[in-house]
Amino acid sequence: MSGNCNLEIFITKSPLEVRLIEIFKGELRSLIISRDDEEIKLGNIYLGRVDSVNKQLNAAFVDIGFGQAGFLSGSDAQIRSGDNQKKRIISETYQEGDKVIVQVKRDISEGKGLKLTTKVELRARNLFATMGHSEIILSRSIKGLESQKKIISILDQYKNPDFGFMIRTKAQFSEESFLVKEAKILTDTMNHLINESEQSKKPRILYEELDAIRIYFRNIDDGKIKRIMVDDRLLFSRIKQYLCEVAPSFLERIEFTNNSNIYFDSYDIDQKIQELFEPKLVLDSGVVLHFNETPALVAIDVDSHKLNHSGNSETFALDVNRKAAREIGRQIILRNLAGQIVIDFLPIKRKSSRKIITEIILKILKKDKRSILYGFTKLGLFELSRRRMGESLSHRFMTYQEPIRNVKLASSDLLDLINRELRQNPGKIFVAHCSPNLYRHMNANGNSNWKIFLGSIGPVVKLLENKKLLGFNFELV
């Protein structure tokens, strides 16, 4: 294992969800939340039926079953075959009632419906299979003619007229047996869903994407991880089994812990996670960041009103903006902010100052393939865009009438905290003081998660209503 592995991963399970937390050099770098109650996931593949075609929009509306319909735009429905490289109008490709294999490109969020694509792909750690072509395409980062020839020769036996392969950069460092194994799994899965689509008459799911935790391990580079801590026995076994299949080099770094509170407390993880849901973030330097998500854009404001300064205003503004830019880059990734993002830094006029700020953000977002930087506008605002992949954390878990977490997040946080405390203090009786809103939710007849949880742990937690607590807040004592 490399000596400069500084990435620690903590995976904690509650009755409602699994959270994966990345800590890099003591800082929270990533938070991934996987919930079982989210039925339609990015990457799911469906057999759909065209409900209607809109020539003006050059788009089709596709029924995928379960009472759900998705939007298939012309750019996401292009079919290229043979020498015909001309883009085809969607109304010339599909008619009402046609069957079509589609993949979820954007889930239901922010009042927008499902966005679908016919450019279906199945991903593995080193390669992925894609419909619509039959070629074997290598990443440009794979250098050396011998390496290229070797990989192509391995995959030649899996060539198929219905789909091709895209080879990821890391494939050049993988053993041949792993490439063969992945190619076989992808081929079998792709053939299976094609056969299922041909035999089925009604819209249905053909392939369910992996949960967010397994996707994480499928994609992360080997050399970065120092250790992986898991606080649930069953989840620990499942992750070990998955790593054994896709990344056995991780196995020596995964550990089970029944006292995750030690690590949560040492890194102040709970507090750092809570800050991700706040619209206002105060940095150690005193700089204040305000985050405002709207349907049109994400606005981020840099505030230094409480900081004392004298002397050159440009120098002061540059110093504040430097500190803000570093944290803003982190927060964009942590909060999963996307779409058009506008940052209102303190006014700086010099080109050299603006270049420094641009380079800071560029460095932080360099490996984030979803981001495109446009830089400073004539009005002094900094603009960038980021491709959407799921909802932002706040849209998933916040109530927007007030800047408070919603009942889904609050109940999940409470169960997660109880879980960790019980592991550390088995047999102890706890009292959870809940706000009136949260108390009503936890005691509602339809709250099966709480009842199942109580059934598994016994009568060791008592809920009390506390009218002094607002929103969906709670205290565990």
CA atoms within 13 A on the CB side of 168: 20
Has residue 147 got a pLDDT over 90?
no
Has residue 291 got a pLDDT over 60?
yes
pLDDT confidence of residue 241: 93
Mean pLDDT (the chain) is 85
pLDDT confidence of residue 91: 84
pLDDT-derived band at 365 (thresholds 50, 70, 90) equals very high
The rounded percent of the chain whose pLDDT value lies above 70 is: 90
Segment 346-367 shows an average pLDDT of 94
Segment 101-128 shows an average pLDDT of 84
pLDDT-derived band at 83 (thresholds 50, 70, 90) equals very low
pLDDT confidence of residue 82: 44
Higher pLDDT, residue 15 or 50: 50
pLDDT confidence of residue 28: 92
pLDDT confidence of residue 446: 56
pLDDT confidence of residue 402: 46
pLDDT confidence of residue 447: 59
Has residue 394 got a pLDDT over 90?
no
Has residue 309 got a pLDDT over 50?
yes
pLDDT-derived band at 289 (thresholds 50, 70, 90) equals very high
Has residue 221 got a pLDDT over 80?
no
pLDDT confidence of residue 129: 94
Has residue 476 got a pLDDT over 60?
yes
Has residue 267 got a pLDDT over 50?
yes
Segment 39-45 shows an average pLDDT of 81
Higher pLDDT, residue 218 or 5: 218
Higher pLDDT, residue 159 or 470: 159
Instruction: Indicate the range of 92-101, 206-215, 392-401, 434-443 predicted with least confidence.
Output: 392-401
Q: What is the 3-state secondary structure (H, E, C) of the chain?
A: CCCCCCEEEEEEECCCEEEEEEEECCEEEEEEEEECCCCCCCCCEEEEEEEEEECCCCEEEEEEECCEEEEEEHHHCCCCECCECCCCCHHHHCCCCCEEEEEEEECCECCECEEEECCCEEECCCEEEEECCCCEEECCCCCCHHHHHHHHHHHHCCCECCEEEEECHHHHHCCHHHHHHHHHHHHHHHHHHHHHHHHCCCCEEEECCCCHHHHHHHHCCHHHEEEEEECCHHHHHHHHHHHHHHCHHHHHHEEECCCCHHHHHHCCHHHHHHHCCCCEEECCCCCEEEEEECCCCEEEEEECCCCCCCCCHHHHHHHHHHHHHHHHHHHHHHCCCCEEEEEECCCCCCHHHHHHHHHHHHHHCCCCCCEEEEEECCCCCEEEEECCCCCCHHHHHEECCCCEECHHHHHHHHHHHHHHHHHHCCCCCEEEEECHHHHHHHCCCCCHHHHHHHHHHCCCEEEEECCCCCCCCEEEC
Has residue 223 got a pLDDT over 70?
no
Has residue 405 got a pLDDT over 70?
no
pLDDT confidence of residue 401: 43
Residue 267 has a CB neighbour count (10 Å cut-off) of: 17
Has residue 81 got a pLDDT over 50?
no
Cα angle vertex 227, ends 225, 232, to 5°? Answer: 125
Segment 428-432 shows an average pLDDT of 85
pLDDT-derived band at 63 (thresholds 50, 70, 90) equals very high
β-strand 298-303 against 339-344: which pairing, if any? parallel
Segment 375-379 shows an average pLDDT of 93
Has residue 182 got a pLDDT over 70?
yes
pLDDT confidence of residue 87: 59
pLDDT-derived band at 242 (thresholds 50, 70, 90) equals very high
Of 37-41, 46-50, 282-286, highest mean pLDDT: 46-50
